[in-house]
A and B are shown apart, each in its own frame.
Chain A
Amino acid sequence: MSTAPGSHRASESQTHDDLVTQIAAALPEWLPTQRWFGGKDRAITAVRPLAATDLPAGDDVLLLHLVVEVEQGDRREPYQLLIGHRDDQVPDVPASASIPLADGPAVYEASGDADLTCHLLDLVAGSATVDGLRFAPEPGAELESGLRGHPISTEQSNTSIVYGGQYILKLFRKLTPGTNKDLVLHRALREVQSEHIADPLGSISGELGEESVTFGMLQRFMPDAADGWVMATTSVRDYMADPSGLPPEDLGGDFSGEAYRLGRAVADVHADLAQALGTREADADELAETVTAMVDRLERVAADVPELAQHVDGLGAAFRAVADVPPPVTAQSVHGDLHLGQVLRTLQGWLLLDFEGEPAASAAERSTLRSPLRDVAGMLRSFDYAAQQLLVGQGDDDHDQAERADAWARHNRAAFCDGYAKVAGRDPRDDAVLLRAFELDKAVYEVAYEHANRPDWLLVPLSSIRRLMTEGS
């Protein structure tokens, strides 16, 4: 474990060792209160500091980069924290950021403290190395330093800080060994000049044990953008409130033009990823493994969620049909967790964000080559969610509203596929067996998630499964 850098006074390093120990002791209580903490399902049995780096942040303040290992029974996962402390002032951060120590100074999670986070950008801009932490701009990136940063409030599993409306620094909370997939794919897409990404501008990296690790990624921030979920639900809201009974394409809030352009953008990104990182043909074993994974998930979820029971046979058949899909089945790098919340409408068009893949998937799973139809299926599922979110909590007796939601989803799913087909040269709906299986697999995953977290929302994936099963039979 590294502590204070050599440039600091020797007396401080002892202080930091004590401090780090105290913080680690406080974290088992504190971590579960943080939105980004991914291990809320189990009790924390221990937290051990792995590395602490004192970052230069001026007099009378402390900015400590801390990596800890969180132990939850047999699970051990590394997490990244920024610790702040001020000698004489109270920082302007929410109370929930404060980490109460049994006997020590007032410390807090510092990603919300603009006076401290501004140093992270300056370190990247200055290509600094502090102990084992490497701050580096991407080749050719000219960064403006001295901007103040504010975290965005909507993020789930990581923490992102926006600097002066120009840059966004994503700090990965749960760390995975190796260069982060998000950064890898962004760099690859940048290399082939993809028009549908926010350019990567810098990174923070280091070592975790024997392996290199990505702590953060700096990207261009789009202050003019709105995310796809908000755009789509704006249209749904307009449509559901319209008294005329007209179809969605005849209403002012029609989203299909955007859905079409979004389909084009996703197909463009798939083509860019194929160009940058190649494609290959999936073999029969791989298809068989895919079937097994989907069927296993189905059985696991069906055991927990009785509402799924009536569909288990049909779903199983849909999944097993994948084994018989005639070659070639193309596999390539894909986004991996694509939905409307992962796309941004800017004045120049649609961008895709967050190429990390599904947060719950393991790193090995996330970096395997997958079918672009997975991403298409993810977007199609997302259109269903956008259409149905207003029905949640309204009781399930309003068939008119449910039908209207369906009509909206159908219209925009079709427009998305049209746009995708226009660029890809092949309509994803022509790969019906695969697309349907991926969509259903995603829906089964959603059933599990909603059952555990938001029972009110369970009707959304269940009604989709019902519809897909009917359409398919």
Chain B
Amino acid sequence: MNERSVVVKNLAKSFGDFVAVDRVSFEVRAGEIFGLLGANGAGKTTTIRMLTGLLRPTSGGGTVGGWDINAQFEMIKKSIGYMSQRFSLYNDLTVKENLQFFGGVYGLGRARVEERTAELDEALGLGEWLDRRTAALPLGFKQRLALGAAILHKPAIVFLDEPTSGVDPIARRRFWELINALAADGVTIIVTTHYMDEAEYCNRLCVMHAAKIVSLGSPAELKARHGAHSIEDVFIQLVRGA
């Protein structure tokens, strides 16, 4: 469990004069659930987009799965799964067709897609929904499906950008059970959230505020360091203090 899955060093991104991410550094071990916690606009999504090859860093760098994020995007793209903030599957396709499409995009053969769909069906409980149009799915289901599409090709590292926003607590709980199961299989999870209760599920947390990392450690360490009872208190202290 000590293999370094993601390494980030002085990573920065600016859009014109606006600094979205300011020299951020952290490391994530394989099989770890690593949380990026912060308010909207703190730089979480920009960080994730740089790690997934969707955005080029302004300066600094790092590796994802051992590949350089400034040069080896193609290799990175093959080894990661990504679930974006917005639900981004096709509403006019059925659940199965969505999975088939993303399987095709990742170059999985037809048989392999069938096999993985069956596995995901079991893990995600898609059942009767498989042949229904995605538009008809309840939001909680859509989110699970989006996760399914992101892990179809069995990536070693999965990036989840606010995967549970807008979902009810029960669906959120189920979603986190899936994430835990993935991590137990050795998949590295990097997840952004602004739900404080979700932050508690992470192995380690990185609190971001105004483009910078303001604190980093396990939930217990953070609470101890800041003399707080909950992550929410830690967060409020950090943001007010900054």
Chains A and B are bound partners = no
- Chain A residues with CB under 8 Å of chain B are none
- Chain B residues with CB under 8 Å of chain A are none
